[in-house]
Amino acid sequence: MPRAATVVLILAATFAGSYATDLFGFRVLVDAVGSEISQQVRGLHTPAGSGDGIGLSTAEATRVPDGTLDLDQAREALTRLAVAPQGTLQGFADDQFGPWERVGACDTREEVLRRDGTDVRTDQNCAAQSGTWYSPYDALVEKRPADVDVDHVTSLTDAWRSGAASWTPARRAAFANDTRNLLTASTSAIHAKAQRDAATWQPTRMAYQCPFARIVITVKDAYRLTVTAAERAALQRLLDTCPLGPAALASGAGPGSALSPALTPASAVRRDKTTSRTSVTLKLLCNFIVTPVVTREGPS
């Protein structure tokens, strides 16, 4: 059978049944399959382990900045976030948040690149010249500084629309340089994310959706930023993909319990099917149609 026809059959089988009524699962599947195929066909993805079933170690797939709330703390903090309509961008400009602050000889961005990289070498001005960076949004392993950048997980525009417009310049500068909200990722993932909030963008790597939600909640809670109703619902859904935290395990709670009120038992079953079928589909497609890939290398 031609490969194209086989791929169509795999996708059709995956979309059948529970996907017809689970739009969230359908969107996650489409995003994940599309990202995985496009990344591997372009030769950008290097398997790094086995943590998410598609070649990632658990540690790499779930790395978060120091100070990020754990699952139980994030669930509690989410209940504290005020829900409000999204504000406007009137008066917004990046320079309203000031420049990167200096941390000794380096600025915040340069320090985060060193924090998140391996074997990072810098010049006399602290600019990265070489190293290896793992991008948790899309699982790319990059070896050229030009292919990575530092992302504000909660973007400056989202912050502006959810409370920062009324802040003092000093508070905006503190937010922009808060390392809890800074993550090194591939430039392609950062461009795809752009300035969207958690309601309209989540990492296509399902293994990083839970950590992503925890980071967003940590920052929004710390700075008393608001969320829209859609964003709160999206963050709740992403937390429901997390392994259970200590409090939930101690109580015997699971999806659909009091600790997870936004997810009913029936939808939890559909979510389990979504995750399982997505993993199987990605394996089948990537093993069948994608040739071996290599890490994106810097100049020798």
Question: How confident is the model at residue 246, as a pLDDT?
Answer: 58
Give me the mean pLDDT over the 150-170 stretch.
Answer: 98
The alpha-helical segments, DSSP class H, found in the chain are 3-15, 23-41, 58-61, 71-80, 108-116, 156-161, 169-176, 187-193, 209-222, 229-239, 246-251, 265-289
For residue 141, count other CB atoms closer than 10 A to its CB.
21
pLDDT above 60 (res 12): no
Position 74: which residue type?
A
Helix (H, G, I), strand (E, B) or coil at 99: coil
pLDDT, the chain, mean: 76
Predicted confidence at residue 247, as pLDDT, reads: 55
48 or 142, which is more confident? 142
Task: Estimate to the nearest angstrom the gap between the alpha carbon of 95 and the chain centroid.
Answer: 25
Question: What does the pLDDT read at residue 204?
Answer: 87
Q: How many Å is the maximal CA-CA distance in the chain?
A: 64
pLDDT at 171: 98
> Residue 103 burial (CB < 10 Å; 0-12/13-18/19+)?
middle
Domain boundaries, the chain: 3-289
Q: How far apart are CA 226 and CA 97, in angstroms?
A: 18
Run of H or E residues at 150: strand 148-152
The pLDDT of residue 245: 61
Q: Is the Cβ–Cβ distance between 198 and 211 less than 8 Å?
A: no
Average pLDDT over residues 113-121: 96
Q: Which of 177, 237, 194, 238 is nearest to 212 (CA)?
A: 238
Q: Which two tokens stand for residue 177?
A: 């340089």
CA 8, distance to chain mean position in Å, is 28
Q: What is residue 55's predicted lDDT score, i.e. its pLDDT? A: 52
3-state secondary structure of 45: strand
pLDDT value, residue 229? 98
Contact 208, 68 (CB under 8 A): no
Which of helix, strand or coil describes residue 134? Answer: strand
- Judge whether residue 19 has pLDDT over 50: no
Residue 38: band (very low, low, confident or very high) from pLDDT cuts 50, 70, 90? very low
Is pLDDT above 70 for 31?
no
Q: What is the pLDDT of residues 213-266, one digit of tens each?
A: 999 999 999 999 999 999 999 999 999 999 876 555 454 444 333 333 333 333
The model scores a pTM over 0.75: no
Torsions phi, psi of 42, nearest 5? Answer: -80, -5
Which pLDDT does position 147 carry in this prediction? 98
Q: In whole angstroms, give the CA distance from residue 116 to residue 150.
A: 10
pLDDT, residue 281, reads 46
Question: Helix axis angle, 71-80 relative to 209-222, nearest 10°?
Answer: 50
Residues 141 and 178: beta-carbon distance below 8 Å? no
To which H or E segment does residue 132 belong? strand 128-135
Between CA 76 and CA 260 the distance in angstroms is 11
| pLDDT level of residue 131 (50, 70, 90 thresholds) | very high
Residues 7-29, mean pLDDT to the nearest whole number: 45
pLDDT category at 121 given cuts 50, 70, 90 is: very high
The conformation of residue 83, written as its DSSP 8-state character, comes to: B
